Amino acid sequence: MIEFVHPALLFVLGAVPIPFLPRSIRKAYLLLIPVLAIFAVLALQPGSYGAAQFLGQEILIAKVDKLSIVFATVFTIMALIGTVYALHLTEAGQHVAAFVYVGSALGVVFAGDYLTLYLFWEGMAFASAYLVFAQGGEKAIGAAFRYLMVHVTGGVVLLGGVVLHALASGSLLFGPIEGNIGAGAYLILAGFLLNAAVPPLNAWLTDAYPEATVTGAVFMSAFTTKTAVYVLARAFPGTELLVWLGTAMALYGVVYAVLENDCRRLLAYHIVSQVGYMVAGVGIGTEVAVNGATSHAFAHILYKALLFMGAGAVIYVTGRRKLTELGGLYRTMPLTVALYMIGAFAISAFPFFSGFVTKSMVVAAAGEDHRALVMLALTMASSGTFLHTGLKLPYYMFFGTDRGLQAREPPGNMLVAMAMAATLCVAIGVFPGPLYALLPYQVAFEPYTGAHITESLGVLMFTALGFVLFLRALDPENTISIDTDWFYRKGARAFMWFAERPLARYEKAVSDVSETAALPLLHGTARTGLRIDIHGVDAIVNGVAHAILDGGGVLRRLQTGVVTHYALAMIAGLIAAIAVFAVVWR
Amino acid sequence: MIKSIVDFFGDEAYARYRHRLFYLVLALIVVADFVVPRDHVEYLWERLPGWSAVYGFVSCVLLIFVSKFLGHQGGLMRREDYYD
């Protein structure tokens, strides 16, 4: 019996054969891996696995506890739903990227040390960026590059934080950061907040998700931000800053959603808003609050994927994504409308839908913690959520002005995936027990009280009244909204201008000087040098060599080997010596 | 069945029924809010029946108009070719 199968391994290694499988087998294989992963997660026993030493540091590949199991459970379920939704795709690349993405997310969830966490963290960034690149076209590729650059920058910040934190604390093990938060921990927090899309680090999300492929966006909506919520819950529970950041982002998302015209960008802003509840929950840090954040992440993954699947189905069928160009689809796509609306009721926290039993836990936690302002702000964001995802988006996408679009229901696998998510959204809402049992702490929270139901319905239905009365004010406009990506999009342009104008001119001037003055001078000097070398140095060396050679030849010729010649030479020498002697010494 | 439900919400022919049903539901919610037991209340507003209806409506209106104000007067909304 194998003690422990790392679910991340199933996905990462399982992705390898996908391109080589024949199409008929591939579909079955694509479903098999997530199913196996679900079983692997169900079989997990809490404990530490894969402890090792690396560069003298303790490494822990997998640390399994209740918090990691609940995230891994929803991740594997979501992987199955996302795979069903993408089953009709023929190109293998997106399936491979999606599997590596899911595997990396699971790797982060189980990571017991910062090094393992960091490696999977980067894996997620690259695999998910492929899902945007795969869409093709100038806009998508631009967005994908921005997405990748932002995440790589965030990764570097995280790595820097990990190194500083490890130096300060002497350990790479990943766990709650206690005591005073040092520079390292702040950098780690910044890296995490970037992936959680906390403003002002949120624009990568709303920039990239609407540009991703129809099926890719479904995966993206589920994993990156929720792994970030997980690591925040693991390392920074009870950090006061997070309460306020979370509350602000819950409202930030709904404000932008009013302005949005692109259906998936509107939904992306609602990810920002919903993740705000989770970040605030982590920040409050009480047992109820962390339970609320965790269960809300669980429910959010399913209903947000359902909403993205619904919007994706419309884009897949009509090829349009702007609300100003959509409308009247309810006649031809009733099933999509119904399934989308289940997601919309779930995100809006209607009784008997999943959001009701999870979101209210965060709001109640804020109340118990005596944070009236947070509670009121989060309730206002709930109103905004229903206003946009439950009323504005479906109204302009499916109802409203009939644009006479040719439409039909999407392929069967898409509908099945949506039905799976919708079933879970309702099941969690009606029977919250099994989800509550999964949560990290004991749950003593009863969502279904009379006052809670009438209160929620009051907020939601009177939001609907506001929508009906001020419908015209909400009409989508053919615009885009400026978010914090302005800084790097315009900043990059300024940088490019600087590189192309002043810097390039300076470079040209330098190269002109070198071409007109410096280079000829250098050439001339080199030529003179060459001439001196050939005609001076070489000539002397060659002359000496020749002289020695010739002298040697002469000497060689003198060596005749005949004794009489030598005798004669000796006599001549003797005579010469005497002559010299006579002259010199006289 | 799903189609007929979706049609009920989309088709102009049912507009009158829809409106009546909608206002009936609103009235029922407010009435229910007055009669439900409130054994655990922490904040003042939780004691007021109908508070959530008022707060929901005000939230909705605020969100619409503050956002649109920021979009138009605050310069957040730009032409689609702004980044091109």
Q: What are the CB-based long-range contacts (under 8 Å, 24+) for B77-80? A: B77/A259, B77/A477, B77/A479, B77/A480, B77/A481, B77/A482, B78/A479, B78/A480, B78/A481, B78/A482, B79/A479, B79/A480, B80/A478, B80/A479, B80/A480
Tokens linked to A577? 């010596």
Tokens linked to A351? 């009784």
Tokens linked to A239? 């950090």
- Between positions 518 and 577 of A, the ones with CB within 8 A of B are none
Per-residue pLDDT of chain A (586 residues; tens, 9 = 90+): 456 788 999 999 999 999 999 988 999 999 999 999 999 999 998 888 878 877 777 788 889 999 999 999 999 999 999 999 999 999 899 999 999 999 999 999 999 999 999 999 999 999 999 999 999 999 999 999 999 999 999 999 999 999 999 888 888 889 888 777 788 999 999 999 999 999 999 999 999 999 999 999 999 999 999 999 999 999 999 999 999 999 999 999 999 998 999 999 999 999 999 999 999 999 999 999 999 999 999 999 999 999 999 999 999 999 999 999 999 999 999 999 999 999 999 999 999 999 999 999 999 999 999 999 999 999 999 999 999 999 999 999 999 888 888 889 999 999 999 999 999 999 999 999 999 999 999 988 889 998 899 999 999 999 999 999 999 998 998 998 988 888 888 888 888 888 888 888 998 999 899 888 888 999 999 999 999 998 888 889 988 999 999 988 888 887 778 888 888 888 999 999 999 888 887 6
CB B77 within 8 A of CB A259: yes
Assess whether the previous peptide bond of A440 is cis (omega < 30° from 0): no
Give the mutation candidate from B33, B46, B57 for the A interface (greatest A CB count, under 10 A): B57
How many whole angstroms separate alpha carbon A62 and alpha carbon A113? 8
How many whole angstroms separate alpha carbon A64 and alpha carbon A46? 5
CB A344 within 8 A of CB A463: no
Domain limits of chain A?
A: 1-234, 237-480, 490-573
How many whole angstroms separate alpha carbon A177 and alpha carbon A287? 17
pTM exceeds 0.80, yes or no:
yes
Question: Residue A153, SS3?
Answer: helix
Distance between the two ends of chain A, CA-based, in angstroms?
Answer: 119
What is the CB-side half-sphere exposure of residue A394 using CA atoms within 13 A?
26
Tokens linked to A31? 């479903």
Nearest to A258 among B37, B43, B63 (CB): B63
B29 CA: distance to closest CA in chain A (Å): 6
Tokens linked to A550? 């010739």
Tokens linked to B11? 């088709």
- Between positions 479 and 518 of A, the ones with CB within 8 A of B are 479-482, 489
Write the CB contacts of B73 (distance below 8 Å, at least 6 apart in sequence). Answer: none
Nearest to A338 among B6, B52, B57 (CB): B6
B64–A455: do the CB atoms touch at under 8 Å?
A: no
Nearest to B42 among A367, A478, A479 (CB): A367
CB A173 within 8 A of CB A58: yes
Q: Is A454 at the interface with chain B, CB within 8 A?
A: yes
B66–A255: do the CB atoms touch at under 8 Å?
A: yes
* Phi-psi region at A477: left, alpha or beta (left = phi > 0; alpha = psi -120 to 50): beta
Residues of A in contact with B64 (CB under 8 A): 258, 387, 466, 470, 473-474
A482–B78: do the CB atoms touch at under 8 Å?
A: yes
A307 CA: distance to closest CA in chain B (Å): 17
Residues of B in contact with A384 (CB under 8 A): 59-60, 63
How many whole angstroms separate alpha carbon A366 and alpha carbon A360? 10
